[in-house]
Amino acid sequence: MASGLDIRLGAVVETLEWGLSGVRATTTDGRVFLADQAVITLPLGILKTQRVKFVPDLPLDKRNAIEQLGVADAVKLFYQFDQPIFPEGIVELYVPGSNPDEWWSSTRGHGVEGEILTSLATGDKARELLALPGEQALRTALETLRQALGRPELTPRKARLAHWRDDPEAQGAYSKACVGASTARSVLARPVNHRLFFAGEHTASNAWAATVHGAYASGRRAAREIIALRHQPPLHRPRHDYQGGREVAQSP
């Protein structure tokens, strides 16, 4: 999908100015990009914490929708073992009894030496683990695995915990619906003034939100919206035509 595209990695947008003459994105290292339109795929957590400044601010209905939706907590705990742990033919394990049930998956069959087992915790369980020091959270989940498999001696070579709450480019795992937010995703998905277009899992339909396929479909939807502009009456054109987008030297 990325083939032939000019993708700049490490370009962290700090400010996004938008108006009649187009869109101007300034990155934290001072680079400036101009375009006729921008598709904003920033995670909901970034929109909520306003790490990217919109100038002028986003319309009120968008800001309300951003506030109405929630950001879910999720924690992944990884344990690397020298030897295969799960019985042959088993690649996933549900451990009922905790709320929510714990879900373990394995790297078995992926050519990994030994075996890496991953536990995914969400909701209250994730918050419970996040409240503990990392080492203790890893010990707690390992204990569940030991009990579930009836193997108290299980000891991983390495263990690691990952979460997205403090990630400066995520600020949370993915969007979650909240009471009263049933239309928030469709409001977030709407373009603004033929300049700003929105995609990302939080703009997908309620049924597809918080998934990869929802994010993918929303990107295609935003692309179609921009293509459809060609069939509309001429836009208020920028002084220069930035078609395709381009980087410019920073103005003094």
Ligand X SMILES: Cc1cc2nc3c(=O)[nH]c(=O)nc-3n(C[C@H](O)[C@H](O)[C@H](O)COP(=O)(O)OP(=O)(O)OC[C@H]3O[C@@H](n4cnc5c(N)ncnc54)[C@H](O)[C@@H]3O)c2cc1C
Contacts with ligand X by CB under 6 A lie at 12-13, 41-43, 46, 51-52, 74, 76, 120, 164, 169-170, 173-174, 200-201, 210-213, 215
- The contacts of residue 47 (CB under 8 Å, 6+ apart) are 66, 202
CB of 211 to ligand X, least distance (A): 3
The answer to whether the beta carbons of residues 72 and 172 sit under 8 Å apart is yes
Residue 215, SS3 per DSSP: helix
Closer CB to ligand X, residue 154 or residue 217?
A: 217
Closer CB to ligand X, residue 54 or residue 174?
A: 174
CB of 119 to ligand X, least distance (A): 11
CA distance 167 to 165: 6
| DSSP for residue 241 | -
> CA distances (Å), 223 to each of 5, 159, 185, 227, 243, in order?
14, 41, 17, 6, 14
CB of 197 to ligand X, least distance (A): 14
Closer CB to ligand X, residue 9 or residue 131?
A: 9
The answer to whether the beta carbons of residues 199 and 44 sit under 8 Å apart is no
CA distance 59 to 149: 53
CB of 185 to ligand X, least distance (A): 12
The answer to whether the beta carbons of residues 105 and 76 sit under 8 Å apart is no
Closer CB to ligand X, residue 84 or residue 165?
A: 165
The answer to whether the beta carbons of residues 27 and 64 sit under 8 Å apart is no
Rg (Cα) of the chain, in Å, rounded? 22
CB of 83 to ligand X, least distance (A): 26
CB of 103 to ligand X, least distance (A): 10
